[in-house]
Structure 1
Amino acid sequence: MLRLLRNLVLVAALVLGVTFGFFNFQLVTVDLLFSDARVPLVVVLILDFALGFAIALLLLLGRMMGLRRELARTQRGLKDARTEIRNLRSMPIHDA
């Protein structure tokens, strides 16, 4: 059942993408500073989407690396605290 639902979503996304491309196929002029290019609007939209996705992915990866470092530091601190607690529990209690 899950496979059927996944396939239906994929087919719907494909149909939506083809429809989107069909209705946005008019030529637009893109100024590249040193020259002009006439390309279909759908190509410009797809490239913009891909560029935005790549930038977001790089930002996400940077954030994830920082969180992994923080997690490793916290786990080391937890290990040290557990070792200290184990050592304190094994020490005899002295009355003052």
Structure 2
Amino acid sequence: MRFLKLLFFILAMMVGAAFTVLNAEPVLFNYYFGSRELPLSVILIGTLGLGIFLGILSGMNTMLGLKRKNSILRRRSRLVDEEVKNLRSLPLKDQ
């Protein structure tokens, strides 16, 4: 398993290095406060990283809401289990 991870890591590094070499030409990057000349690979990787960060940020609201709902449901389930256990321990009434 370690060998496969190492192989995957080396392959990813080689693809990244090839990507950087093939996209090394400088590009003018205009932003709100000015402009700067950066290699295209840096701009693309930065954009990818920003997209991943914003995607995780937008998904956190949903995930936190689901975790909160899950904890509420676990608490209710625990209370219902205790109630059933208490009701089963009560003796039956004779008519």
Tell me which interval the TM-score lies in, with the shorter structure as reference length: 0.7 to 0.9
What corresponds to 2:89 in structure 1?
Answer: 90
C-alpha distance in structure 1 between counterparts of 2:65 and 2:53, whole Å = 19
For 2:55, what is the secondary structure of its paired residue? helix
Specify the alignment match of 1:38 in structure 2: 37
Which 5+ residue runs of structure 2 have no aligned equivalent? none
Could you report, residue by residue, the CA deviation over 1:21-67 in whole angstroms, capped at 9, with x for unpaired residues? 10011111111133221111011011101111111222333332222
Map residues 23-62 of structure 1 onto 2, 5 A cutoff.
23-62=22-61
Give secondary structure in 1 for the equivalent of 2:24. Answer: coil
Matched letter for residue 43 of structure 1: V
TM-score with structure 2 setting the length: 0.87
* 2:67 partner letter: R
Compute the TM-score of the two structures, normalised by the length of structure 1: 0.86
Relative to structure 2, which stretch is displaced further, 72-81 or 83-92? 83-92
Q: How does 1:56-75 map to 2 (within 5 A)?
A: 56-75=55-74
In angstroms, what is the RMSD of aligned CA positions?
1.6
Distance 1:44 1:19 in 2: 16
Question: What is the match of residue 7 of structure 2?
Answer: 8
AA matched with 2:23: N
**What CA distance in whole angstroms lies between the structure 2 residues aligned with 1:95 and 1:24?**
86
Unaligned runs of 5+ in 1: none
Between the two proteins, what is the percent identity of the paired residues?
31
